Amino acid sequence: MDTNLVVEGIKFMGLGMGAVFLFLSVMIFLMSIMSKIIHKFFPEVQPSTSSSSSGTQDNQKKIVAAITAAIKFHRES
């Protein structure tokens, strides 16, 4: 029995960590390619800036009203 278990453990650890690193590197590379393809065929729609200020204020008022109603409901129950 001339095997050193510590050296064997380090070899297996290096092999496992190398496999995980290789897998993650390939996954990141493929995901970046997929993202570029998706953005090429399905670009994001840019919102128009002409009526965004009044629409934003209406949305904020609705959000505040919803939060206020939720707090009131929670306090009553």
Radius of gyration of the chain (CA): 28
pLDDT band at 3 (very low <50, low <70, confident <90, very high): confident
**Residue 71: its pLDDT value, please?**
95
Query: Residue type at 54?
Result: S
N-term to C-term CA, the chain: 73
pLDDT band at 67 (very low <50, low <70, confident <90, very high): very high
Closest C-alpha to 77, from 69, 67, 65 = 69
Give the pLDDT confidence of 4-59 residue by residue, as tens digits. 999 999 999 999 999 999 999 999 999 999 999 999 999 888 766 555 566 778 88
